[in-house]
């Protein structure tokens, strides 16, 4: 059970609003009523709170909750199973274990990933599910998202390693909204479709899938990682997608690490959105083209990709890596700490089409808010808080996370339903059982009683 929404007065904080009309307020009050931001104003120590709970936010910085625009929640528990040893790379492990997921595995995998999101101040997650093995799996993901308290999108994909000539379950995709009407979604979740596109499926498949998605009014997301680290790769083929009429404002391209100048031009011209996942891209693909995409005016956002690489929900750490890498790689003046904070908040909300709902601290928007302590040693002595957060900020500085008006983290600790299962413990137990089932089927080496995996490589 989720904590109730609570009327709140965040009092005396340094506000980075991400709203150009509000800007930064060195001492601000933010009033939250019924899950909505009711007032943003300069701090008044005599302000009447009424029945709102007062959060003394002196010596803190407040900003919108972070927005992740591409996260494979289903394989979150594979962190630790994926590794650097031979046969333990992400793709090998994912393909071996994906067929053995049960419905409860999908639920607790999503709950686990979303619990880490809360810890990292992420209040919106786009769940790019590329292992939907049946309608019940989609439903488990949706229930998990609603039970987490976070905002987001569920994008319905095919089973992992589906044959190229097999389409997504378009019948269930069409039935999804009837099964999950808006009255059940609490205004926090919408739906999309994850497609493989022309480089992984033939025309008979991708044309049908694109037409179905557009007839249903569902936004489309697609990986563009065609050549990974192949020698001489110089293009993503996005000009071809533009020529086929497959790009547009309803499309999100993920990665695009090898996009050529013409590819980037096609993205900008068609107003297609791009989600970059710097930590996993650096590990398996190459340098994300953040400077080039920003300078070309491409609509860009930020994502973790997966916890199985492994990565973590340390958005500030990711931003710190980006600003340093881009300084060395291009020296672009467009990549600044403040611009990257926008990338992780308002730009992400706009990518998902909910910029009027979240992404900035603005009167009337939903209360998706993160409060960090400026009194912690790593943020002192203080200067520009935006620069401080990106250059030296840590997850440990996050004091409070509010999602849709619900306090989900307070004083640095998660706010869990009393007596409810711990998502972390449940996901770990489900992971161990998953490995046992895969071992029994001969798709995974035998596991020890502790659930750890042996040193030898996969078959």
Q: Which of 80, 137, 85 is nearest to 106 (CA)?
A: 137
At residue 230, the pLDDT reads 54
Both tokens assigned to 61: 């910085």
Judge if 205 and 326 occupy the same domain: yes
pLDDT of residue 417: 72
Residue 450 in any domain: the answer is: no
In this structure, are 25 and 138 located in the same domain?
Answer: no
pTM: 0.95
Q: What is the pLDDT of residue 316?
A: 97
Question: How many whole angstroms separate alpha carbon 1 and alpha carbon 282?
Answer: 38
pLDDT at 453: 44
Cα 45 to Cα 38: distance, rounded to the nearest angstrom: 18
Whether residue 431 is contained in a domain is answered as: no
d(CA 255, CA 400) in angstroms, rounded, equals 31
Sheet with 122-129, strands from edge to edge, namely: 66-71, 122-129, 151-156, 189-195, 220-224, 251-255, 273-276, 299-302
Pair (260, 133) in one structural domain: yes
Give yes or no: residues 325 and 390 share one domain. no
Number of domains in the chain: 2
What was the pLDDT predicted at 34? 97
Q: What is the pLDDT of residue 392?
A: 97
With H, G, I as helix, E, B as strand and everything else as coil, classify residue 327: helix
Taking the C-alpha atoms of residue 319 and residue 441, their distance in angstroms, rounded to an integer, is 42
Are 26 and 146 contained in the same domain? no
Classify residue 172: in a domain, yes or no.
yes
Domain boundaries, position 265: 66-88+101-351
What is the C-alpha separation between 158 and 154, in angstroms, rounded? Answer: 13
Helix (H) or strand (E) holding 136: helix 135-148
The CATH number for 50's domain is 2.30.40.10
Say whether both 56 and 71 belong to one domain.
no
Q: Describe the crossing of helices 135-148 and 103-119 by its angle, rounded to 10 degrees.
A: 30
Same domain, 40 and 128: no
Average pLDDT per 10 consecutive residues for the chain, totaling 459 residues: 92 98 98 98 93 97 98 97 93 96 97 98 98 97 97 98 96 96 96 95 97 98 72 77 97 96 97 97 93 98 95 96 97 96 98 98 98 97 96 97 97 85 94 96 73 39
Answer for the pair 115, 155: CB distance below 8 angstroms, yes or no. Answer: no
pLDDT of residue 237: 87
Identify whether residues 155 and 208 lie together within a single domain: yes
Residues 391 and 316 in one domain: no
- Flag whether 298 is in a domain: yes
């Amino acid at each position: 059970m989720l904590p109730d929404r609570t009327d709140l007065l965040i009092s005396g904080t340094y506000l980075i609003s991400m709203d150009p009309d509000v800007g930064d307020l060195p001492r601000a009050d933010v009033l939250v009523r019924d899950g909505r931001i009711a007032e943003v104003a300069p701090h008044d120590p005599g302000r009447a709170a009424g029945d709102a709970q007062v959060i003394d936010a002196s010596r803190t910085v407040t900003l919108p909750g972070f927005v992740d625009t591409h996260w494979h929640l289903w394989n979150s528990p594979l962190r630790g199973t994926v590794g650097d040893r031979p046969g333990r790379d992400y793709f090998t492990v994912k393909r071996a274990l994906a067929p053995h997921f049960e419905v409860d595995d999908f639920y607790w995998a999503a709950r686990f990933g979303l619990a880490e999101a809360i810890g990292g101040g992420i209040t919106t997650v786009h769940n790019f599910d590329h292992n939907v093995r049946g309608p019940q799996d989609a439903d488990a993901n949706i229930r998990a998202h609603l039970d987490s308290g976070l905002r987001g999108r569920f994008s319905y994909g095919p089973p992992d390693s589906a044959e190229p000539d097999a389409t997504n379950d378009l019948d269930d995709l069409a039935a999804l909204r009837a099964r999950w009407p808006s009255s059940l979604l609490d205004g926090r979740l919408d739906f999309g479709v994850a497609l493989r596109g022309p480089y992984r499926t033939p025309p008979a498949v991708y044309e049908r899938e694109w037409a179905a998605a557009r007839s249903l009014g569902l936004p489309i997301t697609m990986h563009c990682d065609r050549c990974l680290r192949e020698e001489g790769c110089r293009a993503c083929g996005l000009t071809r997608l533009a020529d086929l009429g497959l790009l547009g404002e309803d499309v999100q391209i993920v990665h695009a690490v090898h996009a050529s100048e013409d590819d980037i031009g096609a993205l900008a011209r068609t107003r297609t959105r791009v989600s970059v996942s710097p930590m996993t891209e650096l590990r398996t693909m190459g340098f994300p083209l953040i400077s080039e995409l920003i300078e070309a005016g491409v609509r860009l956002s930020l994502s973790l990709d997966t916890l199985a690489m492994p990565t973590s929900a340390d958005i500030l750490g990711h931003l710190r890596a980006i600003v340093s890498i881009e300084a060395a790689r291009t020296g672009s003046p467009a990549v600044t700490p403040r611009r990257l904070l926008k990338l992780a908040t308002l730009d992400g909300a706009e990518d998902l089409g909910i910029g009027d709902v979240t992404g900035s601290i603005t009167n009337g928007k939903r209360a998706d808010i993160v409060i960090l302590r400026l009194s912690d040693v790593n943020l002192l002595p203080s200067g520009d808080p935006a620069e401080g957060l990106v250059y030296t900020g840590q997850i440990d500085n996050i004091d409070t996370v509010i999602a849709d008006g619900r306090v989900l983290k307070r004083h640095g600790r998660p706010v869990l339903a009393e007596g409810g299962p711990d998502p972390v413990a449940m996901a770990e137990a489900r992971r161990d059982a998953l490995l046992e089932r895969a071992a029994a089927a001969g798709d995974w080496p035998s596991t020890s009683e502790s659930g750890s995996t042996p040193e030898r490589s996969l078959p």
